[in-house]
Amino acid sequence: MNQRELPDKMEEECGVFGIFSPDNDQIGSLTYLGLLALQHRGQESAGISVVQGDTITGHKDMGLAAWVFKDYDPASLTGSVSVGHVRYSTSGDSCVENAQPLEAHCKLGSLVIAHNGNLINADIIRSLLEDGGVLFQTSSDSEVLMSMIARGASKGFEKAVVDAISAVKGSYALIISLDNKLIGVRDPYGIRPLCIGKSGDSWFLSSESCALDAVDAEFVRDVEPGEIVVIDENGLNSISHDKNNNLTTCVFEYIYFARPDSVIDGIDVYDLRSKCGEALYKEYPVDADVVVGVPDSGIPAALGYSQASGIPYAQGFIKNRYVGRTFISPTQEIREKAVSLKLNAVRSLVKDKKVLLIDDSIVRGTTSRRMVRKLRQAGAKEVHIGIVSPPVSDPCYFGIDTPNREDLIANKMSNAEICDSIGADSLQYLSLEGLLTALGRKDGFCLGCLNGIYPISTR
């Protein structure tokens, strides 16, 4: 259904990772490695909770995982079930109270939850629960879910989880520890990714398969849309809570968000991005001397374009990997300088050349504008832009930070106006058809940010 009239809202991006492994004194360290591998999914806070019987030991704080665990050894977190989370919120409630995992004690003992996604009816449920006297300690929608699971605990873990999940609407990839089990849940549309891994007797759940590689676990399979998997000493048991499930993976996971070395719902992210570069060449052959990718997410597509066209690929931008997030700088002038510090053009590769600059997407237009300026300052003769996705014209309500409608440049300008605004000689986007062909199937994706059609109604 068309949801163009929905209110605009900033959302959260997160990564979740969990382990079931009794008698494994490495559980805290392995979870930490998993979070490091998922760091691209959220840089604002990180946390790990480990459960042993009724005891939860955990540590979380604001910042990158390496910073959060700088003075706290993750190896000291021991138990049989672990849950980890990295978070990036953009909605203003950036505080340690909202950092995850969330921990509680209920009738079934310890309860830990980590959530990636966005619940669109959490406010209504929260208000009903508050009317009934429930107190909340955070403003996060995930606490609403936790409270509902805790309320249902006397019915047993399975019913408690199924009932809570049935009441919420939105996107969720959840990792829960309840009743000393590790539980993974994916919403009925599978909007956010979640996969299962195994190594010896240990089981893993992760937002992306790249984190399974980081801990040497074997990829078993993706959690299916609407599926609840329960892992304990008897192995993995699957409960499907919604028979009408319908895979609708977020297309932006493939375009930008996921790491290229991950495989999500059977699609290899690197391969897809490279194919998008090839497809863009077929749709948009540019007369250029070099193809340059915007680090990091534009690079596989730039290589794909280069291979298809025969135009040499050049590493036209060097990324300084030692500076973190830059937009916290207090003044615009310092912010601009910080961007220059982070990405710099290689003069010898672009000077006097016709450059085709490839990026995965344009959201506000800020990155493209800066990159064009940098290439011109470095002496590029012409700068053409190729974007390997269709225009981002609509906001995301399900967990990707594609912001307010009025901030989306494609919502207010034509392609020619965008090209003009970012100062490029030409601009071309990959068509939706081209993207879907590269993805290998026409159905099974949430394309809301590209066409305003969302899988879930908020009414």
Cβ proximity to ligand AMP: between 13 and 158 the closer is 13
Catalytic (active site) residue 276: no
Nearer to ligand AMP, 359 or 425 (CB): 359
Count CB neighbours of 442 within 10 A: 10
We find the least distance from the C-beta atom of residue 404 to ligand AMP, in angstroms, to be: 12
Closest to ligand AMP by CB, 107 vs 364, is 364
Instruction: Please tell me whether 359 is known to bind a ligand.
Output: yes
Q: Contact at 8 Å (CB) between 160 and 149?
A: yes
CA–CA separation, 456 vs 446, rounded Å?
10
Residue given tokens 């879930």 in the structure block = 456
Q: Give the footprint of ligand AMP on this chain (CB under 6 A).
A: 256, 294, 297, 359-368, 400-402
297 is in an annotated binding site: yes
Closer to ligand AMP by CB, 84 or 403: give it: 403
The CA distance from 302 to 300, in Å, is 6
**Residue 101 beta carbon to ligand AMP: minimum distance, rounded to whole angstroms:** 23
Using DSSP's 3-state secondary structure scheme, residue 47 falls into strand
Q: Which is nearer to ligand AMP, 283 or 401 (CB)?
A: 401
Out of 14, 210, 276, 419, pick the active-site residue.
Answer: 14
Of 14, 22, 163, nearest to 91 by C-alpha is: 14
For residue 360, say whether it is annotated as part of any ligand binding site. Answer: yes
d(CA 365, CA 407): 9
Strands 181-186 and 227-232: antiparallel
Min CB(257)–ligand AMP separation in Å: 7
DSSP label at residue 134: -
Using DSSP, state whether 25 is helix, strand or coil. Answer: coil
Residue with Cβ nearer ligand AMP (213 or 401) = 401
Distance, CA of 357 to CA of 159 (rounded, Å): 52
Whether 449 has a binding-site annotation, put simply, is: yes
> Can you list the alpha helix ranges (DSSP code H) found in 132-268?
141-151, 157-167, 209-214, 251-252
Yes or no: say if 122 and 170 are a contact pair by the CB < 8 Å rule.
yes
Residues 6+ apart with CB under 8 A from 406: 8, 412
CA angle, 155 then 459 then 432, to 5°: 110
Residue 250 known to bind ligand: yes
- Report, in Å, the least distance between residue 428 CB and ligand AMP: 16
> 282-303 burial string, b = 16+ CB within 10 Å, else e?
eebebebbbbbbbbebbbbbbb
Shortest Å distance, C-beta 296 to ligand AMP: 8
Q: How far is the CB of 368 from ligand AMP (least distance, A)?
A: 6
Q: Distance between CA atoms of 35 and 116, rounded to whole angstroms?
A: 13
Q: Which amino acid would we find at residue 146?
A: M
Residues marked as catalytic: 14
Binding residues for [4Fe-4S] cluster: 250, 396, 446, 449
Binding residues for Mg(2+): 297, 359-360
Binding residues: 250, 297, 359-360, 396, 446, 449
